[in-house]
Structure 1
Amino acid sequence: MLCRRKPEKPLGGYWEFPGGKIEVGETEEESLYRELQEELGIRVEIERYFMSVVHDYDAFTIELIAYICRSEQSVCVLTDHDEYEWVDKSELLNWKLAPADIPIANELCFMEQKMREG
């Protein structure tokens, strides 16, 4: 799933993997459950840790901690984004992704390609 940042926000118009900040006392997984419920109104099953990325933007540095998740829900209620799309892994790099999200998309596409090749 990709979500598009609202135009008035930093990196407005860029697509990103959903998530958010870890609050004090939360585990990464607890934060992910909470953020997806708050921002998208969906519940997920976390399958496994995927990878981490540290990216330096001009004004700040961000660490993304990516997990592979599943959800039975296909409809979201947006609060922090203006659009969302369920995207096939092989199509991820065709989207205007936030720079910090590109390494995750690259790795997902690479995995998808390896699976298809057998």
Structure 2
Amino acid sequence: MGYLLLAGAIAAEVAATTALKYTEGFSRLWPSVATALGYLVSFALLAQALKTVQIGTAYAIWSGVGTAAIAVLGLLLFGEGLSLTKVAGILLIVGGVVVLNMGGATH
């Protein structure tokens, strides 16, 4: 159940960060509300996930998957460029999450 909550936390964080792009510096009401609610839901779900998932593992997955997802959404939704450096960075993030999980997933 902890990993399901963690997946929800990641989805809410990615949605909030995407909405943040549309706030135009928090000058637009509804994207700003969506951003605030998304982060609130994300942190609430992350807190619940931490009841059963180790904090280092949970945070590595939450931040790593969220970062990689936002980088991909930046490409797809906002026309951000894709360079070899960006691809390498995303792969390093994903690799780091995998290594952390392999080395510390026990309770």
Bigger strand fraction: 1
Bigger helix fraction: 2
TM-score by length of 1: 0.26
TM-score by length of 2: 0.28
